[in-house]
Chain A
Amino acid sequence: MHELTWGMPVIAYLFMAGLGAGALTTSASVLLRGGQSGKYFSIARYGAFIAPIPVALGSALLVFELGSFQAGHWFRFLNLYTVINLSPMSIGTWLLTIFLGISVLYAFTFLSKDACPGDKQDGLRRLAAWVGIPLGIGVAIYTGVLLGAMPARPFWNSPVLAMLFFLSALSTGVASIILVRALLHRKHASAQAEAHYHESGYILSATDTLLIGLELLAIFLFLMYAHLTIGSVREAATVILAGGELSVLFWFWVVVLGLLVPGIIELAILVPSIVYHRAYRSHRVIEILVPVVVLVGGFMLRYVVVIAGQITHPIGL
């Protein structure tokens, strides 16, 4: 069995980088989608403030976990910036660094108390958003590619993994916005503002539900792919199947708790609006609970995948 050389910090980092990337991507896209009307401005604002924080924290964690840092060579990690090569980690490092810059800049445009659509910062904000979307997608995908690039780790070595991580990143990003929004939410004075709050909540939940559905699909594809090949990948996948070392963690925490539970709840709330065109309304408890389980599930997904990749290895001569 391989030593577990990538532990909690790396797991946390993958989760947090994904979350931040997801938050920025969501924020920027709703901002741009809202157009000049600034329909989803408040959502964008939450996302903008959230995005850089987990990414910065995660990156710091990662640096702390570097062997060089632990051996007392505090600044050796800067060697990452002396090279550009085709290593996913090298690409990721540069992406992440630019991402941090852009996301801070983007958040800055929202900083002013009376920031609003069409204000002085609007141009810059939109520019940052335009750049931020591909960057966010890049960072989100890269967390999956980082793991997926190695035939030596059959569990990770699946093209579906990048996709899964990308979806999960977006989903946790959205969830984080829902959560923060709900936590900071106070009853609005006007009914109109209240309605607006719920209306914009609708798009978040709908997006989230869609992402959850896609994630389930990706997991299905992942297993299908593993099942249909022979050899290492298939052997490796058995750790999350019934009887495998990580099967409970995976099926309960990731699939049931992290995907099915929030998916079903959200669907139950969404269905009336979609089918009967009722006004969308959600409870605060649910608005807090659902994103929390989504986040927990997202974290557990990283956990299971990172561990599974390390305890499985190629088979055969």
Chain B
Amino acid sequence: MSKKLKTTQQSRRGFLKGVGAAAAAVGASATPVQAVAAITEPKKRYGMLIDTRRCVGCHACSVSCRSENNVPEGKHRSWVEYTEKGTFPNATLHFLPRLCNQCSDPQCVSVCPTNATHIRDDGIITVDADVCIGCKYCIHACPYDARFLNPETGAVDKCDFCLDRLEQGKEPACVATCFNRARIFGDLNDPDSTISRMVASNAVSVLRPGMGTLPNVFYIGLDYADEHDIRFPRQYIRVTTHRDENIRR
């Protein structure tokens, strides 16, 4: 709920900013065309909404991502976690597809010494593979384990919302591939986009809000287990991901 408020506030603020900028531009005797452009094309903020109720943990997204982005074997831009809880016969099973959260306040960006990792105007965090020195600092700074070193490029790699496809007007690969339409992609700053409407009309949550990263990947029906739950002795919990054989947390 609080998230929802935040979103609308932000977009309103974004809009006001746009108007302000336009006004300033007019004041500085810019051509009216520019002013119109500033109003009608407010800054985009791309985001994703994953409806875990529709997700069946089928991994189509992970494989599609691998294929689309040439992700080397053993590395992952996109992965799915299975969370199993309870005792027979009252067990539950939930799925949590993961990717970079394209945070609005990303710590990966703050620590990058070369600015290879940076925020684009549309909110997407990208790594410039030709600038990145592979110091791996950002890998540690990301609270979501979303980054990895790509041994082929020597640069750090991660989900970039499939920039290549976006620029050609296509949905990200994982979104297009999902049979069950569990993933919705769009501009969070556009109040009429499907994602904005869905975010506004559902109880959504983000991963680790306490980290202050302001993720732009939202979830419906999130059931996430962590270390703490696993240690909690009264309940059986297992989280399995196929991301790394060692990851069982």
Listed in ascending order, the chain A residues whose CB lies under 8 Å from chain B are 1-3, 5-6, 66-73, 76-77, 79-80, 82-83, 85-90, 92-93, 146, 149-153, 231, 235, 309-310, 313-317
Contact = CB atoms under 8 A, between A and B. Distances in A.
B111 A149 contact: yes
A150 B246 contact: no
Contact of A72 (B144, B150, B154, B208): B154
Nearest to B246: A1
B134 A66 contact: yes
A83 B228 contact: no
Interface residues of B, number: 48
Contacts of B145: 2, 313
Interface of B: 107, 110-116, 130-137, 139-145, 148-156, 205, 207-212, 222, 224, 226-228, 244, 246-247, 249
B210 A80 contact: no
A234 to B, nearest CB: 11
B50 to A, nearest CB: 15
A151 B227 contact: no
Contact of B136 (A6, A93, A150, A152): A6
B135 A317 contact: no
A5 B131 CA distance: 19
Contacts, number: 134
A69 B135 CA distance: 10
A67 B140 contact: no
A152 B134 contact: no
20 contacts: A2-B140, A3-B244, A67-B151, A67-B155, A67-B156, A68-B134, A73-B154, A76-B132, A76-B133, A79-B131, A85-B115, A87-B112, A88-B111, A149-B110, A150-B140, A152-B140, A313-B227, A315-B228, A316-B208, A317-B222
Contact of A5 (B132, B149, B155, B209): B149
A151 B143 contact: yes
Given A6-B140, A314-B208, A70 B107 contact: no
Contact of B212 (A6, A151, A231, A313): A151
Residue among B114, B139, B149, B211 having the largest count of chain A Cβ atoms under 10 Å: B114
B244 to A, nearest CB: 7
Contacts of B139: 5
B164 to A, nearest CB: 21
Given A69-B154, A152-B211, A90 B224 contact: no
Q: Name, among A66, A88, A316, the residue most crowded by chain B CB atoms within 10 Å (CB to CB).
A: A316
A272 B84 CA distance: 65
A275 B182 CA distance: 76
A196 to B, nearest CB: 46
A152 B110 contact: no
B155 A87 contact: no
Given A72-B154, A152-B143, A314-B143, A67 B110 contact: no
Contacts of A80: 113-114, 133
A77 B140 contact: no
A1 B227 contact: no
Contacts of A88: 111
Contacts of B134: 66-71, 76
A86 B110 contact: yes
Contact of A68 (B133, B212, B228): B133
Contacts of A66: 133-135, 154
Leading 10 A-B pairs by shortest Cβ distance: A67-B134, A71-B154, A152-B143, A89-B113, A90-B113, A68-B154, A68-B134, A87-B113, A315-B227, A67-B149
Given A6-B136, A67-B156, A68-B154, A151 B107 contact: yes
A235 B228 contact: yes
Contacts of B136: 5-6, 67
Contacts of A71: 134, 151-155
Nearest to A10: B136
A68 B132 contact: yes
A80 B112 CA distance: 10
A93 B28 CA distance: 41
Nearest to A235: B227
A82 B114 contact: yes
A93 B134 CA distance: 15
A119 to B, nearest CB: 40
A146 B140 CA distance: 11
Nearest to B109: A87
Contacts of A69: 133-134, 154
A309 B208 CA distance: 18
